[in-house]
């Protein structure tokens, strides 16, 4: 606890100096909050991160022989856990469920629109040969389109 209380002001001052020297980009306080992890907590997290890296390598090896094995792995959860081991706040890093849902709905709407446009193009393409023999209909369609 004492080490964190002593190190945090030094770290903030160093960050301020580096920012003024343009060696560190200007960061918003709400985006980045330094956190001192020391002692047993720091050691434990480092070990956990090493174990997770070993696990990820194992998962990669298994996935090479059986790609279906990845279906049950929660990769977002693994990333959040690794960030936690590094002492990072993951809230600003990941999209909220609402944002994910909005993006999914937008993708579905775009897919439906493309499908609809494809169906219209197919319908027009099939109609043109049928109209080729009937110049009167072609003329009426042409006049109607010019009138719009």
Average pLDDT, the chain: 76
Measured CA to CA, the distance from residue 91 to residue 102 in angstroms comes to 18
- Looking at residue 97, what is its pLDDT? 83
User: Which residues are CB-neighbours of 101 under 8 A, at least 6 positions away?
Assistant: none
**pLDDT tens digits for range 29-45:** 766 777 776 666 666 66
What global pTM score does this model have?
0.41
Q: What's the pLDDT score for residue 15?
A: 86
| C-beta separation of 4 from 36 below 8 A | yes
Looking at per-residue confidence, does 132 or 5 come out higher? Answer: 5
Q: Find out whether 57 and 99 touch, Cβ atoms under 8 Å.
A: no
Q: What pLDDT digit, counting tens, does each position of 1-27 carry? A: 566 678 888 888 888 898 899 888 887
Q: Are 80 and 90 in contact (CB under 8 A)?
A: yes
- pLDDT tens per residue, range 72-102: 888 888 888 888 777 777 777 788 888 889 9
Mean pLDDT of 48-59: 83
Cα separation, 23 vs 9, whole angstroms: 19
Helix-then-strand count for the chain, H and E? 5, 0
Phi-psi region at 39: left, alpha or beta (left = phi > 0; alpha = psi -120 to 50) = left
């Amino acid at each position: 606890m004492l080490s964190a209380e002593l190190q945090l002001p030094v770290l903030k001052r160093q960050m301020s100096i580096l920012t003024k020297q343009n060696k560190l980009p200007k960061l918003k306080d709400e985006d980045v909050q330094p956190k001192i992890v020391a002692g047993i907590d720091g050691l434990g997290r480092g070990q956990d991160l090493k174990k997770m890296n070993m696990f990820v390598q194992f998962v990669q090896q298994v996935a090479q022989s059986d790609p279906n094995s990845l279906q049950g792995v929660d990769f977002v959860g693994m990333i959040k856990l690794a960030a936690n081991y590094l002492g990072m706040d993951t809230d600003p890093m990941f999209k909220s469920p609402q944002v994910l849902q909005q993006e999914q709905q937008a993708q579905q709407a775009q897919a439906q629109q493309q499908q609809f446009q494809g169906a219209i193009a197919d319908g027009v393409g099939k109609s043109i040969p049928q109209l080729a023999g009937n110049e009167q209909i072609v003329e009426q369609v042409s006049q109607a389109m010019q009138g719009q």
